[in-house]
Structure 1
Amino acid sequence: MKKVWIHMGYPKCFSTSLQKAFFEKHPEITYGGMGVGDHLSYANNGLEFVFQSLLQHANKPFFDRNSKEAKNIVDEFVNSTNQITVFSLETLVFPFSSLDFETITERIKLLFEGYEIHILLVIREQLGFLKSLYGEFLRMGYPETFSNFIQWVWSYRDRNFWELLNYPQVYDFLKQSFGDTNIHLQFFETWKSNPEIEINESISQLLGITNKNLPIWNDNPSLTKQEQANLLHVNQEFRRGMGEHVLFPYLNHLNRTSLERLESGYSSEEIFENILTKRLALNKMRRIPQQPFEDFYKLRAPSDDIIKRMQQEWKITNQQLMDELGTIPKVYLS
């Protein structure tokens, strides 16, 4: 049975570096995407449709009508090579869609039926992850303070990504779905000390390929506190992306292939409007006077109490992960 590797996430855990600096560049990998040639593209439009529409967003009737074609697209690509086949999309485990993680997992199993599926999962200590994710939300137009963000995560945990921060729960679910030995967990903190050495060594060993000591770079560095403070000010003054109405997706550029298939009539400028406005906002962020940032992550009530309750829960679940794996970075238990 042919082996297929799928890097599912998490976001803000070297995902862009893996895609652009490793998977795309390694000569022993046949890489399907995303990030083939640019930051958005796949090896072909069919695969982009599979990953960006069918796996993440399509409702059941639309998925069912297109699943046979999608299976053929996957089979044609995987069987076109004798090399290791890799796909990567960091929002498969952390979906920005109406579909839950369990539904996405079932669709992966269906479209990759007949292959030995191996899952690469990179996790990050939860509070550090939320701070980095908040910065990414600011890029996408989020107009609320970090305090309000934390309160939202806690208050709407019945419907948002909160459960995905329970790492042993996610890990065990994936093992049940794909097999105990097919889930490969890596830690952001281990790689962070020396990404070039750690990523080359660990991923080459996992995939059973030659360590080429590829240069590892970061095309998407996190914003500084100063930049985040300015961008928050811009977002509050100039509504865009996440600050717009809920009916228009703030990641609409990722829907470009499905919009073309659906004969949407949207122009290229309309599809990429969120990218254009993000660039304008980032430029404005750099030009305006520096906004206060010394206490940028300081939490006010009730978020200051909420974060303590979050950390209590994470300490319990991270201990469960420690018991299961035998060792994890100390920051997960502190």
Structure 2
Amino acid sequence: MPKRRYIHIGYPKCASTSIQITLLPEHPELYHVGNGWQKNNNRYIDDEVTNVAEVDMRYKREFMYDAARAKAAFEPHFEAAEADDKVKAVGLSSEFFSFTLGNEVDVVTKAKRLHAIFGDDTCIIFVFREQMSLLRSLYTELVKGGYPGTFRKFMEYTYLFQDRNWCREFCFDKMFDLYAGLFGAENVCAVPFELLKADERAFVHRICDGIGVARAELSMKELNKQGPSLGVYEQIRRFNEKFQHEFGSPFYEPFNCMRMRTYFQNELGVAVPHERATDDFIRMPVTKGAMQLQQHNPAPDIDLNFPSALVERLTALYAPSNVRLAEQTGIDLAAYGYRMA
């Protein structure tokens, strides 16, 4: 029998960076090709895998997508895992496999492409989070990446334009159905993010059990945590209003272009465009400047209050989904504060 394969599909803001840096590359029985290869954020084992994971899988339309080339990028690593007696499973991680941002392809297309590469019995590590908490955390992450809008604007966009954004992708029962339909329900390892807060050891063990490797006794480091004060986020948001970059750029422009380095350099034969590289590197001085400004001229905490009308509408959308997910997984989601009615 071939070695077990696994794919960690996210969600974003659900300890993905900690899983990618602390757990998957550290486990002695795993051959982890990335994200988090050798405990490096946004790194994969080689350029070919990087390009498939960050460009082909996420952005390429069908006329450009080369399924044979994408699969071939992983074959040497599948073979290396088979040849290593210490390895029990080989796999990949990206929080974008359960989530669509900007001009990415649909999550259904991503899942089908992953299935064509990894095969039927692959373990799907599916970490989710109570939707209102997830939306708040996602908003502050987008602010860090250049989004200048208020939380109210963000939530209005989420609800009003759910035909093209992440709103319905947070109906977790649908994501469970998608990956269960391709890989088998018995292979979907569903883990609530809240379990990490309640019992870190149980969180790690649940993922290890899902993959089928020894239970690791690892401490999950909180790597992509919220900033020191919500006032700093308001300072960053105000910076973003003045200086457009990444999520503040026009809609048709891509985000996180440094993650597309291999596509620009190896496929197109060009350097990462200067303005896109500038977008990526401007985050650090903006955050530092916001923290310094907050010390001298404090801004109020960024407003993360949900408009009441949207809470009612989103609850009507997410509560039935949560009830069904609890039935699918056997997890008591009500105990973790999920809306169930």
With normalisation by structure 2, the TM-score equals 0.90
Separation in 2 of the partners of 1:178 and 1:136? 31
Letter in 1 for 2:112: E
Residue in structure 2 matched with residue 18 of structure 1 by the alignment: 19
Q: Hey, what's the Cα distance between the residues in 1 that align with 2:150 and 2:124?
A: 34
Q: Secondary structure at the match of 1:143?
A: coil
Structure 2 counterparts to residues 1-334 of structure 1, below 5 A: 1-2=1-2, 3-37=4-38, 38-64=40-66, 67-82=67-82, 83=87, 84-96=89-101, 97-113=103-119, 116-195=121-200, 197-223=201-227, 224-267=229-272, 270-288=275-293, 289-293=297-301, 296-299=303-306, 303-330=307-334, 331-333=337-339
* CA deviation after TM superposition for structure 1 residue 272, in Å: 2.9
Q: How far, CA to CA, are the matches of 1:206 and 1:316 in structure 2?
A: 26
CA distance in 1, matches of 2:273, 2:315: 44
2:245, 2:276 → 1: CA distance?
A: 14
Measure, in 2, the Cα distance between the counterparts of 1:286 and 1:269: 26
| Per-residue deviation, 1:264 | 4.8
Q: Secondary structure at the match of 2:64?
A: helix
Q: Secondary structure at the match of 1:184?
A: strand
Structure 1 residue 269, shift from structure 2 partner? 5.3
Whole-angstrom distance in 2 between the partners of 1:167 and 1:327: 13
Distance in 2, Cα, partners of 1:117 & 1:312: 33
Distance 1:112 1:77 in 2: 12
Following the alignment from structure 2 to structure 1, what is the Cα–Cα distance between the partners of residues 249 and 305?
A: 26
CA distance in 2, matches of 1:118, 1:28: 15
Structure 1, residues 267-304: CA drift from partner, whole Å, max 9, x if none? 575553222111121011102122112x71234xxx43
Task: Give the aligned residue type for 2:305.
Answer: K
In 2, distance between residues paired with 1:201 and 1:74? Answer: 27
Identity of aligned residues (%): 22
Instruction: Note the residue ranges of structure 1 that are not aligned, 5 or more in a row.
Output: none
The 1-side partners of 2:138 and 2:99 are apart by: 11
Report the Cα offset of residue 194 of structure 1: 3.7
Contact 2:234 2:300 in 1 (8 A): yes
Q: Deviations over 1:52-101 (max 9, x none)?
A: 1111111212213xx22221221211111132112101111113243001
Query: Are the equivalent residues in 1 in contact too, given 2:265–2:272 (CA < 8 A)?
Result: no
Q: Which amino acid in structure 2 is aligned with residue 126 of structure 1?
A: Q
Report how many aligned residue pairs link the two structures: 326
Give the whole-Å Cα distance in 2 for the aligned partners of 1:327 and 1:112.
Answer: 27
Q: Which runs of 5+ in 2 are unaligned?
A: none
Distance 1:265 1:75, change over 3 A: closer
Shift of 1:112: 2.3
**1:1-51, Cα deviation, whole Å (9 max, x unpaired):** 432100001011011111100111111110010111421211111111111
SS at match of 2:127: strand
Displacement of 1:180: 1.8
Relative to structure 1, is the Cα distance of residues 267 and 110 closer, same or farther in structure 2, using a 3 angstrom cutoff? closer
1:182-233, Cα deviation, whole Å (9 max, x unpaired): 11100001112243x2333222222232233123212211234222222112
Root mean square deviation of aligned Cα: 1.8
Q: Which amino acid aligns with 1:291?
A: A
Cα gap change, 1:325/1:109 in structure 2, threshold over 3 Å: closer, same or farther? closer
